[in-house]
Amino acid sequence: MPDISTLVVFCAATLALLIVPGPAVLYIVTRSVSQGSSAGLISVLGVHVGSVVHVAAAALGISALLAASATAFTIVKYVGVAYLVWLGVRKLMRRSAEEHAVELRVHSKRRLFWEGVLVNVLNPKTAVFFVAFLPQFADPGAGPIGPQILVLGLLWIALGMISDGTYAMLSSALAGRLRGSARARRRLDVGSGVVYLGLAAWLTTEKA
């Protein structure tokens, strides 16, 4: 199992990444702006039920990969760093015109929940991200990889619910300002890109 120091570093890195707005955060913010904080929190719950699917898939898939080849596992870790770099550059290069307007249709609580699940489960980038990020903190010498990935994934989900719940509450409170604010979205993109690139650089240094 990961040791305490690894878990602390993982939590810090996870919190840094969770502030980066992605499709799930955009969905949560949209629902919170249009229907209030309760709708946003229901969306958060749905999103992270979807996260459970990705964590389980990552734990099973990465365990199978390590069983097949320790070299392949190492390659996946380095590809994960490259993926973080790509995400960072993409965020920095994105133009505000690419942003979509906030949709304001009202949905039932049941629909909000299941849409949240689908937003996460059906997003291939989420699956790739879990496979790219979680192995960076797994140590084959510390025991079976599957349980380590599972523990890291559950930690991610717990921290994600706190982070996304905060997004839901704040976006509900600031609904008027968030509608159509291209400048605010651009600032979030720049900050997100810096976080991705910084984490990728740190992980590369750790492996040296």
How far is Cα 124 from Cα 36, in angstroms, rounded to an integer?
28
Burial of 8 (0-12, 13-18, 19+ CB in 10 A): exposed
pLDDT in the model for residue 30: 75
The answer to whether 138 and 66 have CB atoms below 8 angstroms apart is no
Which residues lie closer than 8 Å to 115 by C-beta, 6 or more apart?
27, 43, 46, 107
Model confidence, pTM: 0.66
pLDDT in the model for residue 180: 52
pLDDT in the model for residue 100: 46
pLDDT in the model for residue 42: 93
pLDDT in the model for residue 45: 94
pLDDT in the model for residue 208: 40
How far is Cα 28 from Cα 168, in angstroms, rounded to an integer?
6
pLDDT in the model for residue 159: 93
- The tens place of each residue's pLDDT in the chain, 208 residues long, gives 767 888 888 898 888 878 776 767 777 877 787 778 888 899 899 999 988 988 888 888 765 665 566 666 567 667 767 766 776 787 677 665 444 444 445 667 888 898 888 877 776 667 777 877 788 788 777 778 888 888 898 999 999 999 999 988 987 787 656 555 556 556 656 665 665 676 567 656 654 4
Q: Parse the chain into domains and list their residue ranges.
A: 4-207
How far is Cα 81 from Cα 184, in angstroms, rounded to an integer?
28
* Secondary structure element (H or E) that encloses residue 69, with its range: none
pLDDT in the model for residue 99: 46
How far is Cα 208 from Cα 205, in angstroms, rounded to an integer?
5
How far is Cα 28 from Cα 42, in angstroms, rounded to an integer?
9
pLDDT in the model for residue 102: 44
